[in-house]
Amino acid sequence: MSDVTTPASDAPDAPETVATYLRLRGLKPSSKNWKRKKRVAVDDDNAPFTPGRDPGSLGAVLDRLSRESGWQTTLAREDLVRQWADLAGADTAKHSEPVSLERGLLTVKCDSTAWAKNLQYMRGTILTEIGRRYPDAGVENLRFIGPDVPSWKWGPRVVPGRGPRDTYG
C-alpha cells in the first residue's frame, strides 16, 4: 500500500478535509491553491494612537448626540422650567411658576398681582440670569401674570354683552 499518501506528505498547507476530498477524487492536492491571501486594509479609524481613540465621557457623548439631533433648544427650555427654583430663588418659586414659552416670550404665572408686580421690577435681573445660564432656550422677553379671574364664558361661541351682571339683579 505504498500509493496511499497522507495529507501531510501531499500538501502540508492544505486543509485535511480538502486534501482527503481531492485524494478520493483522484486529484493531487496542492498547497499553493489553498493558501489564503492576506488582504491589507488600511483602517484609519481603528488604528491605535490616532486622535479620537480615547474613550470620551458620557456627558460629552450625550452633548454631541443632542447637538447633532437638534435637541439643545428643547432640553435648555426643559432645564429652565425644571430649575426655576434655582434661577428665581426658593421663596419666589413658591409663589410663581413658568407656564409657557412661545416665540421667545416666557410667561410666568404668579399667586397674586403683588408678586407679579414685584417680579416685573426684577425682570431685567431674571432675564440676564436666564440668558447666562440657558442661552440655547431662546428667551428674549418675560411676562408676569397674576391669578386668573373666573370666566363666565364657556364653549366655542361667546355673545358680547355685560355677562353675569344682568343675571343677578
The pLDDT assigned to 10 comes to 47
Average pLDDT over residues 107-133: 92
Rounded-to-integer distance, Cα 87 and Cα 94, Å: 12
Return mean pLDDT, the chain. 79
**How would residue 150 be classed by pLDDT, with cut points 50, 70 and 90?**
low
Average pLDDT over residues 82-100: 91
The three cell numbers of residue 160 are 358680547
The pLDDT assigned to 33 comes to 55
Average pLDDT over residues 127-148: 90
The pLDDT assigned to 168 comes to 54
Residue 99 has pLDDT above 80, yes or no: yes
Q: In what order do the strands lie in the sheet with 141-145?
A: 96-102, 105-110, 141-145
Question: Tens of pLDDT along 18-46?
Answer: 777 777 777 766 655 555 556 666 666 67
**How would residue 7 be classed by pLDDT, with cut points 50, 70 and 90?**
very low
Q: What are the two backbone dihedrals, phi and then psi, of residue 144, each rounded to the nearest 5 degrees?
A: -110, 130
Classify residue 133 as exposed, middle or buried by CB count within 10 Å of its CB (0-12, 13-18, 19+): middle
**How would residue 48 be classed by pLDDT, with cut points 50, 70 and 90?**
confident
Strand locations in the chain, DSSP E? 96-102, 105-110, 141-145
Residue 51 has pLDDT above 90, yes or no: no
Rounded-to-integer distance, Cα 5 and Cα 30, Å: 13
The pLDDT assigned to 143 comes to 92
Average pLDDT over residues 64-92: 90
